[in-house]
Amino acid sequence: MTKVAMITGAAQGIGAEVSRHLAQDGFDIAVADLPGQESKAQDVISEIEKIGQKAIFVPVDVTDQAAVKKAVDEAADKLGGFDVMVNNAGVAKVDKFADIKPADLEFSYKINVFGVIYGIQAAAAKFEELNVPGRIINASSIAGMHAFPVWATYSSTKAAVISITQDAANEYAHSHINVNAYAPGVVGTTGMWDEIDKKMSEINGKPIGQNKKDYVGTIPLGRTVEPNDIANMVSFLAGPKADFITGQTYAVDGGGLL
Ligand SMILES: NC(=O)c1ccc[n+]([C@@H]2O[C@H](COP(=O)([O-])OP(=O)(O)OC[C@H]3O[C@@H](n4cnc5c(N)ncnc54)[C@H](O)[C@@H]3O)[C@@H](O)[C@H]2O)c1
């Protein structure tokens, strides 16, 4: 029987690439994202259908615990099973430490931390209901392993994901549910670095573009990470070769943290 994977934040970026890779691996895919992302999600669905797998759009706001449970139910009912949950949805707000406001903290923590916890709860309950040895794979970041300047809020949410991954792996091991995480380095193709670079230059006075250049210069493998690099890791963690791996967070960063 075809296996089913749900990916949150799957309408674009890393989540879309993970969806395509898992479809290549033979999964049917629930492309989950905010309702406003439906038209982008439909493009991802068309690509998955061309690969020969089924795909549906599941609207969800991961900050709403009941909505996440409902989304998992919908994916399992419509696709006829539930085997893998990728808690990928996340936001990266860039701010100097002194400028962090309560609303910024609430926004980032609700999506990056609460959303991951709700996703783990809903997926694990479904795996237990269906008696499936499921896989849960969470989005952390290298910023959660080593804090980045102007990224205190983000770094701390992603550090929390590492801890949550360890704890959930422990608690759900008796149900044969493996819980792991991926920690991407900075993706070169998103606009995220431009914002970090701008805020860092306000702090250290380096010209615009220099902070990014300096960072990329420290990556031993000589380039920023691409969604394809991360999707390869998720594909491994979702597959049979990762049967005995749980509670781990893997950096995919070209050695940037070395
Ligand atoms: N891009 C990077 O450099 C990088 C580096 C390290 C970690 N990450 C992490 O990888 C994950 C994906 O990153 P990306 O670069 O593809 O981001 P992205 O901004 O391109 O995509 C994020 C997706 O999450 C969705 N989303 C946001 N809030 C949501 C909510 N409340 N409910 C449901 N969906 C929501 C968005 O609609 C979007 O489709 C994130 O968790 C991010 O923190 C990214």
pLDDT score for 153: 96
Q: Are 31 and 11 in contact (CB under 8 A)?
A: yes
Check which CATH number belongs to the domain holding 244 and give it.
3.40.50.720
Residue 85 lies inside a defined structural domain of this protein: yes
Strand partners, 139: 182
Ligand 1 touching residue 192 (CB < 6 A): yes
Count CB atoms within 10 A of the CB of residue 39: 9
Tell me if residue 154 is catalytic.
yes
Ligand 1 touching residue 37 (CB < 6 A): yes
Q: pTM of the entire structure? A: 0.97
Residue 257 lies inside a defined structural domain of this protein: no
Structure tokens at 90: 């996340």
Same domain? For 219 and 233 the reply is no
Same domain? For 245 and 202 the reply is no
Same domain? For 57 and 82 the reply is yes
Residue 66 lies inside a defined structural domain of this protein: yes
Same domain? For 214 and 116 the reply is no
Along the chain (258 residues), what's the average pLDDT of each consecutive run of 10 residues? 96 96 98 98 98 98 98 98 98 90 97 98 98 98 91 96 98 98 87 79 89 89 95 98 98 94
Same domain? For 8 and 131 the reply is yes
Same domain? For 151 and 178 the reply is yes
pLDDT score for 235: 98
Ligand 1 touching residue 61 (CB < 6 A): yes
Same domain? For 117 and 59 the reply is yes
Same domain? For 78 and 132 the reply is yes
Token pair 């033979």: residue: 26
From the CA of 224, give the closest atom in ligand 1: 3
Same domain? For 194 and 232 the reply is no
Largest CA distance in the chain: 58
Same domain? For 92 and 217 the reply is no
Determine the distance separating the centroid of ligand 1 and the alpha carbon of 174, expressed in angstroms: 30
Domain range for 236 is 3-185+226-252
Residue 156 lies inside a defined structural domain of this protein: yes
Number of separate domains in the chain? 2
pLDDT score for 75: 98
Same domain? For 113 and 194 the reply is no
CA 67 to chain centre: 18
String of DSSP letters for the chain = --EEEEEET-SSHHHHHHHHHHHHTTEEEEEEE-GGGHHHHHHHHHHHHHHT--EEEEE--TT-HHHHHHHHHHHHHHHT---EEEE-------B-GGG--HHHHHHHHIIIIIHHHHHHHHHHHHHHHHT---EEEEE--GGGTSPPTTBHHHHHHHHHHHHHHHHHHHHHGGGT-EEEEEEE--BTTSTHHHHHHHHHHHHH-PPTTHHHHHHHHT-TTSS-B-HHHHHHHHHHHHSGGGTT--S-EEEESTTTT-
Residues in the chain: 258
Same domain? For 123 and 104 the reply is yes
pLDDT score for 195: 79
Residue 161 lies inside a defined structural domain of this protein: yes
Which of 154, 172, 182, 215 is flagged as catalytic? 154
Ligand 1 touching residue 113 (CB < 6 A): no
Between CA 168 and CA 178 the distance in angstroms is: 9
Residue 258 lies inside a defined structural domain of this protein: no
Best residue among 8, 17, 19, 33 to mutate for probing ligand 1's pocket (most ligand atoms within 8 Å of CB) is 33
